[in-house]
Amino acid sequence: MIFIESDIKTENADYKEFDKTFNMLDYKNINLFLSPTKTTYIDLSKSETAILAGFDQDIRKQLKRNSKKNISFKTVGCMDEFYSILYETSRRGKYFVHSFKNWKAKWEPFGDEVQFILAYIDGELLGGNMFTVQPPVAFGLSLPSTVHGKNKRIAATLIWEGIKRAKALGCTKFDLNGLYDERYNAPIKWVGLTAFKRKFKGNEVEFMHPKIKIYKWYLRPLERLGLLWMFFVDA
């Protein structure tokens, strides 16, 4: 069994030819993906003023409103605190997060490539932003928040702080890590998250459908039943 997730964009001039070649080699489309199939990039090559001016008015209002509050940020030595808010958010959202031991073992080896920003108001933790920095690209990973932080609409402010930090560290592009893709049966809650991300007015890109080629006859029924995900579980 061969599974392929390509970074070929559907806007690529050679996209149709690549897709045709995969079909000729007996690769099939599969509705399983480990990386975003559609995403949006924010151009960091512009000045901060120009980047901010490109945002939707609603985002700019949120940023202006929060800038007048006593919100402070922490950017170093906060992996433990970030996990605490990530875990809290996962419990509210009913999604899986690894134990702290396993999560830390996964991300700590990346060192300074993984960045954390925490937001506080009067000493109370509101939310966090976790992203990787590998110039020229920064890649958003997680944006958890407390109930209070959600009420303060802290997410936009945390993204903006992440953008400024990524730019200062030499990145020219910030990937907001995925948009709802109509080609797949993605969770409907992604629609609302996508609407929020689109307010940052980035450049949207769509990637070629993931492909799979089955060599073993006994795996074909699993493919038809959509059960091949069992072989891709992150242990």
Asked if residue 18 and residue 106 are part of one domain, the reply reads no
Residues 6+ apart with CB under 8 A from 105: none
Which pLDDT value is given to residue 49?
Answer: 97
What is the full per-residue pLDDT of the chain (235 aa) written as tens digits? 777 888 888 888 888 898 899 888 888 887 766 678 899 999 999 999 999 999 999 999 999 999 999 999 999 778 999 999 999 999 998 888 999 999 999 999 999 999 999 999 999 999 999 999 999 999 999 999 999 999 999 999 999 999 999 999 999 999 999 898 888 877 777 788 999 999 999 999 998 888 877 765 444 554 444 444 434 434 3
Asked if residue 125 and residue 99 are part of one domain, the reply reads yes
Which pLDDT value is given to residue 216?
Answer: 57
**Number of structural domains found in the chain:** 2
Q: How far apart are the first and last CA of the chain?
A: 19
**Conformation bin of residue 63: beta by default, left when phi > 0, alpha when psi is -120 to 50:** alpha
Asked if residue 219 and residue 168 are part of one domain, the reply reads no
Distance from C-alpha of 148 to C-alpha of 127, rounded to nearest angstrom = 9
Asked if residue 120 and residue 98 are part of one domain, the reply reads yes
Which pLDDT value is given to residue 139?
Answer: 96
Asked if residue 215 and residue 183 are part of one domain, the reply reads no
Asked if residue 16 and residue 102 are part of one domain, the reply reads no
Asked if residue 187 and residue 127 are part of one domain, the reply reads yes
Asked if residue 116 and residue 150 are part of one domain, the reply reads yes
Which pLDDT value is given to residue 229?
Answer: 42
**Conformation bin of residue 25: beta by default, left when phi > 0, alpha when psi is -120 to 50:** alpha
Q: DSSP class of residue 110?
A: G
Instruction: Write out the residue range of the structural domain in which residue 52 sits.
Output: 38-206
Asked if residue 234 and residue 153 are part of one domain, the reply reads no
